[in-house]
Amino acid sequence: TASHNPKGDNGYKLYLGDGAQILPNQATQIEAEIARNLDVWECVDTARLGFDEVCRRDNVFTALSEPLKARYLDAIAAAFHHNPEPLNKDLPQFVYTPVHGVGSELMSRAAGRFGFRPYAPVPRQQDMDPEFSSVPFPNPEEKGVLDLAMEAADALDADRGLVIANDPDADRLAVAEKVDGKWHLFTGNELGILLAGWLWEQRDKTVAPEKYAMLTTAVSSKMLKTFADHAGFQFFETLTGFKWMSHVAMEKEALGLRVLFSFEEALGYMPGTTVLDKDGISSACLALSLAAHLHASHSSLTQHLLATSRTLGFHLSHNGYLRTPSPTTFPCILAALRTNGIILPPQNTPPPFRLASMRDLAAGKDSGEPGGRTALPDVGEEMVTWRFVGEVGGREVQ
């Protein structure tokens, strides 16, 4: 899968029998087995059969089967279909784009199971296309990727609209909403807190709040932690990526907690543990269910986000990235910063903020933790976090 990356960045994901992505130690073992098996097996006559036929003959892989699709749809409907059917049916037609990927069929079937109207497609992006011909690269976070979907929604209604988008392998979800003629593309942090709040409202309220847990990563907004402090459920922070969140979720459930939701700012959401990875289809159905609930009360996702921020405090995010052709560039930058002492706490932080703590993951250090050691596992990842606190308008800001 090229996922949300440029078409040249092809690769694949590996999962073990527990349904979660492999961790680095497992990847190392698999790479060692590959290195030991570089010669073509004698039983494979590639000249006579061809690779695909050999795979089919020897059951090397199994295509996604109809029974498995049906089991998946049954599972997400049982776990997350909370609204009365007429409520979902009343949601105005939304626009959906798989951005040239695989999501179209399952999204159509899932929306039907949840009782939504059939979506309006984006014709130029509806069919699978490994060239990603309508976009430079198919990341729904990128400027311009949802332009065609927004144009399709504009054609349906000049004032209001809702766009749902998956990346090509349908594990990420982007949502854009138009209210009074103005579009708002939700960040991963914004949509994450909205879905967390919706799942919290739909939980089994006979279970004590502290028996629930939600997770996010070290690079995501801490609004979820604020929500946990406010509502009483347990909050856990993990390393970046759903391979870490899924394994932490399994560990917490083994200890008797109910993991209600996990998310990462890069448009990835894992409702519950029905699927042990980010899942753009079930998350889309949750976002649509919340939108339908709000529509019935003459509200919107945008208005609900504002109300949530007024309750929990405003949490702002400003994300960006730089691309480099070499994987050694970033470690070299951090090594230079450490050598020059720039990562050490500065002596004179401009007011109104002061540096409260600093975490250097690769060094295993965190001045904000007891003993000065990071609470996150030491796996050699390069990441530095600075935490500032201060006061603005009489209120503490972090």
121: Cα separation from own chain's centroid: 23
Q: Are 252 and 214 in contact (CB under 8 A)?
A: no
Pairing of strands 353-360, 365-366: antiparallel
Give the C-alpha separation, 179 to 201, whole Å.
24
Give the C-alpha separation, 23 to 11, whole Å.
16
What is the DSSP secondary structure assignment for residue 41, as one 8-state letter?
A: P
Catalytic residue among 3, 134, 262, 283, which? 3
Give the C-alpha separation, 290 to 278, whole Å.
19
Q: What is the 3-state secondary structure (H, E, C) of 166-217?
A: ECCCCCEEEEEEEECCEEEECCHHHHHHHHHHHHHHCCCCCCCHHHEEEEEE
Give the C-alpha separation, 170 to 102, whole Å.
7
Beta strands in 116-168 (DSSP E): 120-121, 161-166
Sheet holding 258-264, edge to edge: 234-238, 212-217, 258-264, 268-271
Give the C-alpha separation, 374 to 380, whole Å.
12
Residue 215: partners with Cβ closer than 8 Å, 6 or more residues away: 235, 236, 237, 238, 245, 248, 249, 252, 259, 261, 262, 263
- 233: tokens are 């459920």
Which amino acid would we find at residue 59? N
Is 3 among the residues known to form the active site? yes
What amino acid positions are annotated as catalytic residues? 3
